[in-house]
Chain A
């Protein structure tokens, strides 16, 4: 298969169409505008429907309606717009509807900046909206992985009847890399007999709902949802590891930050340092075993994020006090350089090799 050079945001659109998504509801916000723009050009040609909604709030509710009616559907936004979608996402999780939500993160809080950041980790992995729910959160580090995770995201959404968030940032949305589109499905997907398509006079009405006025009923529903999240934790952890057994120090980072970390590792290795890497690809469920398996002689774990420190909480929980943990981050849309990471590693190791 020939590869095509594509901008991340546009590749998201192409991947969704390749995965059979025929409905997109979105709204303009930097740095992901190419996603709705691509969908507005290409989706109808593929027999689909594109609607630019009046707000991110309206868009996520259109996703709810379309998903509840049995369709493969996607929306995209960036951090402030994703914040607006939280009510809708909570409803989607509560009603157990499948969909793909793409977040190209930017600086925050509030209106923030338009440069890349990783400040939505908490929002994505802790729920974000009200109530006890989680969603699958996948973090690609290059445009090919972005394409693969978007395509698989639709299958995972249908399989678990859950929203799936693809957590990118402005860099991966804007950069261009060669990609190919592989669409074989790994999951046996059940028929959506719960969808609202009209009873046809042949069955009782289907109801898409997250309201349970009896507390006992809602508790049972929550227990059911928790079992689903347990299944996700059993089956959907994804991680890339490098040299975590006998490194002096292990770096951990996700998304585009992990590429900067890899550059720092090459520089450090040239100077004789042994540095490993844990790159979570699924942020929920978090690949905690990778941290539990870090070699006994590793002196430190350094978490690097484009935030004030969000994933580091999960790193600490996974390490459970076993190894000293450190943090290096930039906020506001600033991107760390490999040199800054090299310096931090040297500072932690105190010149020891």
Chain B
């Protein structure tokens, strides 16, 4: 009899405050497992900015810095420039990275800063109660788009991965989802690859993880996974947009 799945030591014992069915729990676990598997947990420094996951500093079992909304990439730049041999990551939501933080994320890709970003995209501002985000879909109802997002006045949702992949300093860009066990396993692979790009010193890496927010979408966790599949994946296609070439 062999244990084939148990709790990773990359996470602390503290039960999370996340809502039932929130995909943060899954993604935290994948990030923590990846750090343990690559042997970088003891050397890791993470940055958790404002959002539901601001309390990630209580869950990841490594040194953490809490950052202002959108500023995690700048904070991580400061950390990685001081400690280039440490493993540095940011863990950001869409209200953070794709709104107030667009300058910071574009410029770390532009400068090719050698850390990794996990971008949790659930098309809404979760922590503050469900406001429309730049990633909210057309027609999607949120507390600041109560009649459904209207393209004429608010534009179309922003596709961060495609945009960041056009920047040379971005060495790894992939979009994954965590709505099924199969997709979760693929997401884990992408996260490992992204982290390896940092360890090989190849440049900036980001994994965009399509996620759910059952509470603010107003549906059950199980329905939310289906909603992600039927509505988000068609607009935000999964796949790799950039990865480094072969090492010579």
Given contacts A55-B103, A88-B68, contact A67 B78 (CB under 8 A): yes
Given contacts A198-B83, A207-B57, contact A62 B63 (CB under 8 A): no
A55 — nearest CB in chain B belongs to which residue?
Answer: B103
Q: How far is the CB of B87 from chain A (nearest CB, A)?
A: 8
| B64 close to A205 (CB less than 8 A) | yes
For chain A, residues 121 to 171, give those with C-beta under 8 angstroms from any C-beta of chain B. Answer: none
| A73 close to B78 (CB less than 8 A) | yes
Taking CB atoms, residues of chain B closer than 8 Å to A63 are 78
Given contacts A55-B103, A87-B68, A198-B42, contact A64 B63 (CB under 8 A): no
Taking CB atoms, residues of chain B closer than 8 Å to A206 are 63-64
| A64 close to B44 (CB less than 8 A) | no
Question: Roughly how many angstroms separate A201 CA and B10 CA in the complex, as a whole number?
Answer: 11
The answer to whether B61 has its CB under 8 Å from any CB of chain A is yes
Q: How far is the CB of A90 from chain B (nearest CB, A)?
A: 9
The answer to whether B65 has its CB under 8 Å from any CB of chain A is yes
| A69 close to B64 (CB less than 8 A) | no
Question: Roughly how many angstroms separate A59 CA and B107 CA in the complex, as a whole number?
Answer: 12
For chain B, residues 74 to 89, give those with C-beta under 8 angstroms from any C-beta of chain A. Answer: 74-79, 81-83, 86-87
Which of A58, A88, A209 contacts B57, CB < 8 Å? A209
| A200 close to B43 (CB less than 8 A) | yes
User: By the criterion of a CB under 8 Å from any partner CB, how many residues of chain B are at the interface?
Assistant: 35
For chain A, residues 56 to 96, give those with C-beta under 8 angstroms from any C-beta of chain B. Answer: 57-59, 61-71, 73, 87-88, 91, 95
Question: Roughly how many angstroms separate A149 CA and B71 CA in the complex, as a whole number?
Answer: 30
Which of B43, B61, B79 contacts A69, CB < 8 Å? B79
Given contacts A65-B65, A198-B45, A207-B65, contact A58 B82 (CB under 8 A): no
Interface centre among B71, B78, B83, by most chain A C-beta atoms within 10 angstroms, is B78
Question: Roughly how many angstroms separate A308 CA and B76 CA in the complex, as a whole number?
Answer: 40
| A208 close to B65 (CB less than 8 A) | yes
The answer to whether B215 has its CB under 8 Å from any CB of chain A is no
Question: Roughly how many angstroms separate A57 CA and B100 CA in the complex, as a whole number?
Answer: 11
Question: Roughly how many angstroms separate A196 CA and B42 CA in the complex, as a whole number?
Answer: 11
Taking CB atoms, residues of chain B closer than 8 Å to A198 are 42-45, 62-63, 83, 86-87
| A211 close to B78 (CB less than 8 A) | no
Question: What are the nearest 6 A-B pairs in CB distance?
Answer: A65-B78, A61-B74, A66-B78, A196-B63, A65-B75, A62-B78
Q: A54-B103, A65-B47, A88-B68 are in contact. List 19 more A-B contacts (CB 8 A).
A: A49-B81, A51-B77, A53-B107, A54-B106, A57-B103, A59-B74, A61-B74, A61-B78, A62-B74, A62-B77, A64-B74, A68-B75, A69-B79, A69-B82, A198-B45, A198-B62, A200-B43, A202-B42, A213-B55
On A, residues with C-beta under 8 Å from B are 23, 25, 49, 51, 53-55, 57-59, 61-71, 73, 87-88, 91, 95, 196-202, 205-211, 213
On B, residues with C-beta under 8 Å from A are 41-45, 47, 54-55, 57, 60-68, 71, 74-79, 81-83, 86-87, 103-104, 106-107, 111
